[in-house]
Structure 1
């Protein structure tokens, strides 16, 4: 069996690579080891599919802390606005939500997946599902894909788009790293990103705040000397294992790196529940609210400030009797409470494993990739795209943007290489 281009991996980057190669008139095959294409897309954005983000390039890159600058070349060819135009040309209407996130108007990821599957058909891309690749063999003239059943597929160009090691139930189990190494590539250290953070603090172990979400807070990872490493502002969710929610997920990679760098078992994080107020302003508001209803208990008066269970936990830590009224309120203790609400510090000891992460940090070294082609600098007619590369972003449409962009570039250049071979 012979093809011009073979794409291995049917996630966002692989789908875009195969469609783009097919669109440019080359005989293309897409191999997926699972029974469905686009499984990661189908579950992204809580099943609504956050297809991209509308931030301008510079900000977009800032939201891809894992080597985002490498994508400047790719984004000059196919960026977030190209993705929006592409889907709207397929009649997938998109809408903008908070923080620039773009979703299909009908909130259904399956609409996005089905449109991409239609495009595979439209451009005569062959697909093989439930098909495991045993090996990829490289040669000067053509490469060959050996399937698990022994079948051999000859191809001029190979695009490896099998993802990282996160969310393995969608098919990303890290098998692509071995194929990259075989071609001579370096794999940088892999680590979990966009992953819940773990803690052994008693309030976590005892599930005192489990299930509570704090909205629009600032969370900071602290060095052992107390200096800040990184702050993220968004929502934090307390779980039975630690903390999750978008702000904690974004902070997770900094926790992973800091624990390793400082050779410590745990680090402090600090949550600021009122990032727009200073401690004095918060103290004034707490005292004013209590003074205006002097006969009511503070636990009742201060309810609007913080989620009730969190408030009760803070009141207890500040040694305030929740039934106390303004008449018996010690200002010194309210000062402690205001400090606690602004600086809720606790220890974290790591994250859930890479298999539980949304995104894999690390991957194929970008020093070995041509940025405007996604081509290997080491092996001719070998391309990589998506999460297998040492690129990672925050949640919010940034990783899918990188996947679609690198997939498009890989598919385009693999097709152009084949066409050039035919004309020579």
Structure 2
């Protein structure tokens, strides 16, 4: 036997799984196909590594809209506060930024990666880099080890698969692990891009009329075929040459896919409320007041400051209102039309950029076939899963990485305990 626990995948979740298994007394081998560890970790948080989020468990799970409830049992054993304690006790100072996001004070992902590598060295974890796995070995419903592409076989009674999804393939996440999970009898829930820019065939998008225009603190909603809101997020967004992007858009992206699938349609409506601080009634009153107080001003000048000028002029053009028309000459209907444009501008979305261009993979190993308390396969003894490989996904802002650390921690711990029992 080469080790008690083999961890496949040297990313966020895999490194934490290896550390956890070693801290629980197991001899551990970590196998990584890239030449270096933590490639995706290095690019998270724009290279600053948003290690977790300083919110309570309920709120974090609410920010993991794709199957977050699966993580309740894991959170009961190890949570985001434990992640913070883990790094602080290993000499990493953390700071909190907006929306509870926690970063190393160095503002460098490398700080987090080097800390994890230092801990693995201290725990004498054997690390094989540039060592892609050919297959995982099973026998009589139990895991036996892994076979590397160079022909070497590594044996262990417990194997943790922390191989990531298919998003950001340049970091090594190319979906290799799904076939190994299928070989063990697991169902792979349909993969789809999440935290991905949204695409649209609207003429003004194709013409790049608004390309590069940012809107601050807007409310973006995805609507189903009955016109009901499926999800709304109030954050920033930007128009692009293929559609829309930015934080609010990334958070809505998985719901575009789900709604198109549920409604069996080729597109869904997305609504932009550029002034969420006003109700439609309040905004109408404000426009009427402007008409009364600044009636002599051209519409363009009277409404300046409400939204970026480019967005305002685009709207006036769509409504066939000349920008130089004096405010006082606008009809009640035209005021209502302006209000509707500012509060509920709709565009048709036809999907998102492909999974390879997304930040996060939706879908993966069915959580119904995984023990939520241990992350062990219900189908194959000694096989454990962690991280994005599983069918759960969260928003950016420290939520996915929290899931990766926690599932890695739990998988590694229980794999070690099971291996040592044998």
Alignment TM-score > 0.5, same fold: yes
Determine the C-alpha separation between the residues in 2 that align with 1:95 and 1:287. Answer: 46
Determine the C-alpha separation between the residues in 2 that align with 1:299 and 1:204. Answer: 23
Pairing 1:82–2:82 present: yes
Deviations 1:151-202 (A, max 9, x none): 1111221110001111111111111111111111111111111111110001
3-state SS of paired residue (1:189) = strand
Who is 1:207 aligned against? 208
Give the deviation of 1:328 after TM superposition. Answer: 3.5
Who is 2:371 aligned against? 370
Determine the C-alpha separation between the residues in 2 that align with 1:274 and 1:252. Answer: 21
Give the deviation of 1:31 after TM superposition. Answer: 0.9
Give the deviation of 1:106 after TM superposition. Answer: 2.2
**Is the alpha carbon distance of 1:151 and 1:282 closer, same or farther for their aligned partners in structure 2, counting shifts above 3 Å?**
same
Contact 2:145–2:153 (Cα < 8 Å) also in 1: yes
Give the deviation of 1:225 after TM superposition. Answer: 2.2
Pairing 1:123–2:123 present: yes
3-state SS of paired residue (2:166) = coil
When normalised by structure 2's length, the TM-score is 0.96
Mapping 1:278-357, distance limit 5 Å = 278-289=279-290, 291-357=292-358
Pairing 1:231–2:232 present: yes
3-state SS of paired residue (2:139) = coil
Contact 2:143–2:381 (Cα < 8 Å) also in 1: no
Contact 1:159–1:410 (Cα < 8 Å) also in 2: yes
Determine the C-alpha separation between the residues in 1 that align with 2:103 and 2:301. Answer: 40
Determine the C-alpha separation between the residues in 2 that align with 1:297 and 1:341. Answer: 18
Root-mean-square deviation over aligned CA pairs: 1.6
Who is 1:6 aligned against? 6
Who is 2:47 aligned against? 47
Give the deviation of 1:405 after TM superposition. Answer: 0.1
Determine the C-alpha separation between the residues in 2 that align with 1:142 and 1:184. Answer: 12
Tell me whether 350-359 or 314-323 shows the greater mean CA deviation. Answer: 314-323
Gaps of 5+ in 2: none
Determine the C-alpha separation between the residues in 2 that align with 1:208 and 1:128. Answer: 51
Contact 2:4–2:420 (Cα < 8 Å) also in 1: no
When normalised by structure 1's length, the TM-score is 0.95
Who is 2:262 aligned against? 261
Give the deviation of 1:327 after TM superposition. Answer: 4.3
Determine the C-alpha separation between the residues in 1 that align with 2:399 and 2:309. Answer: 34
Who is 2:416 aligned against? 415
Deviations 1:178-229 (A, max 9, x none): 1111111111111111111110001111111111221111111112222222
3-state SS of paired residue (1:2) = coil
Determine the C-alpha separation between the residues in 2 that align with 1:5 and 1:89. Answer: 25
Determine the C-alpha separation between the residues in 2 that align with 1:289 and 1:89. Answer: 58
Determine the C-alpha separation between the residues in 2 that align with 1:265 and 1:365. Answer: 26
Contact 2:237–2:249 (Cα < 8 Å) also in 1: yes
Determine the C-alpha separation between the residues in 2 that align with 1:309 and 1:197. Answer: 21
Contact 2:167–2:193 (Cα < 8 Å) also in 1: yes
Contact 2:291–2:328 (Cα < 8 Å) also in 1: no
Give the deviation of 1:331 after TM superposition. Answer: 4.0
Contact 2:6–2:145 (Cα < 8 Å) also in 1: no
3-state SS of paired residue (1:362) = strand
Contact 1:319–1:333 (Cα < 8 Å) also in 2: no
Determine the C-alpha separation between the residues in 2 that align with 1:214 and 1:122. Answer: 48
Determine the C-alpha separation between the residues in 2 that align with 1:118 and 1:240. Answer: 44
Give the deviation of 1:319 after TM superposition. Answer: 2.2
Contact 2:355–2:361 (Cα < 8 Å) also in 1: yes
Contact 2:143–2:380 (Cα < 8 Å) also in 1: no
Who is 1:251 aligned against? 252
Deviations 1:264-314 (A, max 9, x none): 111111111112211231133234345544544332332211112111101
Determine the C-alpha separation between the residues in 2 that align with 1:167 and 1:306. Answer: 34
Pairing 1:388–2:389 present: yes
Tell me whether 142-151 or 246-255 shows the greater mean CA deviation. Answer: 142-151
Contact 1:33–1:132 (Cα < 8 Å) also in 2: yes
Determine the C-alpha separation between the residues in 2 that align with 1:43 and 1:401. Answer: 16
Gaps of 5+ in 1: none
**Is the alpha carbon distance of 1:206 and 1:2 closer, same or farther for their aligned partners in structure 2, counting shifts above 3 Å?**
same
Count of aligned positions:
421
Segments of 4+ in structure 1 off by > 6 A?
none
**Is the alpha carbon distance of 1:113 and 1:290 closer, same or farther for their aligned partners in structure 2, counting shifts above 3 Å?**
farther
Who is 1:145 aligned against? 146
Tell me whether 370-379 or 134-143 shows the greater mean CA deviation. Answer: 134-143
Give the deviation of 1:329 after TM superposition. Answer: 3.7
Tell me whether 357-366 or 321-330 shows the greater mean CA deviation. Answer: 321-330
